[in-house]
Amino acid sequence: MLSLYNSLSREKQEFVPIEPGRVRMYVCGMTIYDLCHIGHARMMLAFDMIVRWLRASGFEVTYVRNITDIDDKIIRRAGENGESIRQLTDRQIGYMHEDLGLLGGLKPDYEPRATEYVPQMITLIEQLMANGLAYVADNGDVCYAVRRFANYGKLSGKSLDDLRAGERVDVQAGKHDPLDFVLWKSAKPEEPEAAKWPSPWGVGRPGWHIECSAMSADLLGNHFDIHGGGQDLQFPHHENEIAQSEGAHGGIFVNYWLHNGFVRVDDEKMSKSLGNFFTIRDVVAKYDPEVVRFFILRAHYRSPLNYSDAHLEDAKAALTRLYTALKGHEDVAPKVDWQDDYGSRFRAAMDDDFGTPEAMAVLFDLAAEINRGKDAKLVAQLKGLAGILGLLQRAPTVFLQGARAEGLSAQAIEGMIAERGAAKKARDFATADRIRDELKAGGVILEDGPAGTSWRRE
Q: Does residue 318 or residue 451 have the better pLDDT?
A: 318
Q: What is the pLDDT of residue 173?
A: 62
Q: List pLDDT tens digits, range 179-200.
A: 999 999 999 989 999 999 999 9
Q: What is the pLDDT of residue 456?
A: 82
Alpha helices in 62-113 (DSSP H): 72-81, 85-102
Report the first-to-last Cα separation within the chain, whole angstroms. Answer: 50
Query: What's the pLDDT band for 172 if we cut at 50, 70, 90?
Result: low
Residue 291 has pLDDT above 90, yes or no: yes
Give just the sign of the alpha carbon dihedral 262, 266, 272, 274: positive
Query: What's the pLDDT band for 400 if we cut at 50, 70, 90?
Result: confident
For 406, counting Cβ atoms within 10 Å of its Cβ (0-12 exposed, 13-18 middle, 19+ buried), the class is: middle
**pLDDT over 70, % of the chain:** 93
Residue 418 CB contacts under 8 Å (≥ 6 apart), including other chains: none
Q: Does residue 422 or residue 72 have the better pLDDT?
A: 72
Tell me the average pLDDT of the chain: 91
Q: What is the pLDDT of residue 330?
A: 86
Q: Residues 398-422: what's their mean pLDDT?
A: 71
Residue 324 has pLDDT above 50, yes or no: yes
**Contact of 252 with 131, CB cutoff 8 Å:** no
Strand partners, 226: 25, 256
Residue 166 has pLDDT above 50, yes or no: no
Give me the DSSP letters along 305-364: EEE-HHHHHHHHHHHHHHHHHHTT-TTPPP---TTSHHHHHHHHHHHBT--HHHHHHHHH
Q: Does residue 172 or residue 338 have the better pLDDT?
A: 338
Q: Which amino acid, 111?
A: E
Q: What is the pLDDT of residue 438?
A: 67
**Contact of 334 with 383, CB cutoff 8 Å:** yes
Residue 416 has pLDDT above 70, yes or no: yes
Look at residue 367 and give its three-state secondary structure: helix
Lowest mean pLDDT: which of 62-71, 122-131, 446-455?
446-455
Top-ranked range on mean pLDDT: pick from 134-148, 262-276, 439-453: 134-148
Residue 407 has pLDDT above 60, yes or no: no
Query: What's the pLDDT band for 48 if we cut at 50, 70, 90?
Result: very high
Give strand ranges (E) for 196-284.
Answer: 204-206, 224-230, 254-260, 263-265, 268-269
Q: Does residue 259 or residue 458 have the better pLDDT?
A: 259
**For 228, how many CA atoms within 13 A lie in the half-sphere containing its CB?**
29
Residue 361 has pLDDT above 80, yes or no: yes
Query: What's the pLDDT band for 411 if we cut at 50, 70, 90?
Result: low
**pLDDT over 90, % of the chain:** 74
Q: What is the pLDDT of residue 429?
A: 75
Q: List pLDDT tens digits, range 219-251.
A: 999 999 999 999 999 999 999 999 999 999 999
Q: What is the pLDDT of residue 132?
A: 97
